[in-house]
Amino acid sequence: MRLNPTRLVFFALLALSAASVGCKAQNSAPTTIQDPALARSIEVLVRSQFNVPPDYEITLGPRTPSKIPGYDTLQVTLGRNGRTTSTNFLISTDNKTLARLDTFDLAGMPSRNIPITGRPIRGNPDAKVTVISFDDLECPFCAAMHRELFPDTLNHYGGLVRFVYKDDPLVEIHPWAMHAAVDANCIAAQNGKAYWNYVDYLHAHGDEVTGTEHNLQKSYATLDRIADDQVKPYGLNATTLDACIAKQDETTIRQSMHEADSLGVDGTPSLFIDGEHINGAVPTAQVWLVIDRALRAAGVQPPPEPSGTPAPQDQGAASQTSGR
């Protein structure tokens, strides 16, 4: 399964940096923390909080003024086998508090800037709120989420929301998901409605593709046949479609998978609604809560909930995901 660097713990990030090309030799300069008891407390806290293995050395210093009132900047360096990496902490001027400050770019948040150019859109193309789902066409939880979105969510919001799917086939556990994604994109290149019909069918008939024999070549043939079934209803160019399917170019799919990794996606389905992340197949009520929140932020009044709509459950308890 693919590992997601953004999901690694703090120490793992440091460890990867320490092993990377361009790391400098360990500096044996003494720490600028002169109080041995304070230095030991800082070391023990860092080791315990970030699970630093015993064979890593920790060096403290230098300590310099920071832009945060009441705090100095303290450099903490981890070293092993002659390689080091450093990160900055904040230490209070009274030496009673150690903190670590992360900064985030509000203007350039990746989750709010997911490119959708060229992707088939379902719903109102000009809607102010976009639901983006990283989808795996073989994933049963994706099929469940798909049923939550279509038709109920689409019908509930009408022209207020648009839906976009991006590819994230979990190739390690879903053997025909990549082939399905390639075929879907071959269809999308000609007709967006045909793409959505293909996606609808696969999410409703995954067992048909898998087959009782679990023969991968037969699954591929079934996917290609279902793709060819879109030709007549949607006026597709059969020659172009068949050539694209035969080529099985995974380039675009792999780029989408890499994008999912960069966004912290560690399983499917994974939705981004105006940048807000929903991880896993959750009940409709929870999806609507997030969509309503995004609509209000965009200055749009959400439609009233139908009578009898169940109260949303805790997302953590209800979420299901097909992970890497």
Q: What gap in Å lies between CA 222 and CA 210, rounded to an integer? A: 9
For residue 30, what are its two tokens?
A: 């003494």
Question: What pLDDT, on a 0 to 100 scale, did the predictor assign at position 305?
Answer: 86
- Does residue 22 have a pLDDT over 70? no
pTM: 0.73
Look at 1 and 308; give whichever has higher pLDDT.
308
For residue 205, what are its two tokens?
A: 């008939």
Question: What pLDDT, on a 0 to 100 scale, did the predictor assign at position 14?
Answer: 46
Residue type at 315? Q
Give residue limits of the domains in the chain.
5-99, 110-323
Q: What gap in Å lies between CA 162 and CA 151, rounded to an integer? A: 13
Domain 110-323: which CATH number of 3.50.50.60, 1.10.1740.10, 3.40.50.150, 3.40.30.10 = 3.40.30.10
Q: Average pLDDT, whole number, for the chain? A: 87
Q: CB neighbours of 273 closer than 8 A, spacing ≥ 6?
A: 129, 130, 131, 132, 287, 290, 291, 294
pLDDT in tens, 170-208: 999 999 999 999 999 999 999 999 999 999 999 999 999
pLDDT in tens, 35-67: 999 999 999 999 988 888 888 999 998 899 999
Question: What pLDDT, on a 0 to 100 scale, did the predictor assign at position 101?
Answer: 82
Assess contact for 131 and 295: CB atoms under 8 A.
Answer: no
Look at 186 and 318; give whichever has higher pLDDT.
186
What CATH number was assigned to the domain covering residues 5-99? 3.10.450
Assess contact for 144 and 275: CB atoms under 8 A.
Answer: no
Band (pLDDT 50/70/90 cuts) for residue 310 is low
Lowest mean pLDDT among 69-73, 91-95, 308-312: 308-312
Band (pLDDT 50/70/90 cuts) for residue 3 is very low
Q: What gap in Å lies between CA 301 and CA 278, rounded to an integer? A: 21
Assess contact for 223 and 236: CB atoms under 8 A.
Answer: no
Whether the CA torsion 263, 264, 265, 271 is positive or negative: it is: negative
Question: What pLDDT, on a 0 to 100 scale, did the predictor assign at position 105?
Answer: 84
Question: What pLDDT, on a 0 to 100 scale, did the predictor assign at position 27?
Answer: 40
For residue 117, what are its two tokens?
A: 């150019």
pLDDT mean over 129-156: 97
pLDDT in tens, 70-80: 999 999 999 98
Q: What are phi and psi of 134, to 5 degrees?
A: -85, 115
Question: What pLDDT, on a 0 to 100 scale, did the predictor assign at position 311?
Answer: 53
Compute CA 273 distance to the chain's CA centroid, rounded to the nearest angstrom: 12
Question: What pLDDT, on a 0 to 100 scale, did the predictor assign at position 81?
Answer: 86
- Does residue 127 have a pLDDT over 90? yes
Look at 109 and 119; give whichever has higher pLDDT.
119
Residue type at 184? A
Q: CB neighbours of 224 closer than 8 A, spacing ≥ 6?
A: 183, 245
Selection from 83-87, 107-111, 252-256 with the highest mean pLDDT: 252-256
pLDDT mean over 91-108: 89
Q: For the chain, what is the radius of gyration of the CA atoms?
A: 25
pLDDT mean over 19-30: 37
Long-range contacts (CB closer than 8 Å, 24 or more residues apart) made by 293-296: 294/129, 295/128, 295/129, 295/160, 295/161
Assess contact for 197 and 230: CB atoms under 8 A.
Answer: yes
